Amino acid sequence: MLDEFERRNYSQNTRRIYIRTVKDFGCHFQRSPDRLGLQHIRDYQAYLFRERKLEPITVAQRLAAPRFLFVQVLNVLPTSANLGSGGIGTNPLAGEDAWSTM
């Protein structure tokens, strides 16, 4: 992940936030983030909306780091087969597209 940050010239602040966010993502499931899948991102998203009561823009920001890990670092591309019916940016509570603000 650090190599990808460097290749993309991410700021130190962005790096720090992404690392902390990916760590929180893994801690939520009590597993290493690289052992999780795209469905876990969807479940985490539902948790952020339902339990944490976060706004869509905040959820989108929180999901950017795990999404970066899966797509840019682990090369797991989102498809309808591995996302489920709603898609990765769908708010399961309100039907809003959390990625549309990015």
Range of the domain at 46: 2-101
Query: pTM for this structure?
Result: 0.72
Q: Is the dihedral of CA 50, 23, 85, 94 positive or negative?
A: positive
Residue 65 vs residues 35, 94: alpha-carbon distances, Å: 15, 22
State both tokens at 26. 């893994």
Look up residue 73 and give its two tokens: 């670092």
Take residue 77 and report the two structure tokens written for it. Answer: 């591309």
33: domain CATH number is 1.10.150
pLDDT at 50 over 90: yes
Q: Residue 95: helix, strand or coil by DSSP?
A: coil
Show Cβ contacts of residue 29 under 8 Å, excluding neighbours closer than 6 positions: 36, 40, 43, 44
Structurally, the chain folds into a number of domains equal to: 1
Span 80-91, mean pLDDT?
45
Q: Residues 67, 68, 69, 73: what is their CA dihedral angle, to the nearest 10 degrees?
A: 140
Band (pLDDT 50/70/90 cuts) for residue 91 is: very low
Tens-place pLDDT, residues 58-79: 999 999 999 999 889 988 876 6
Measure Cα distances from 11 to 19, 28, 35, 49, 63 in Å.
Answer: 12, 26, 26, 28, 18
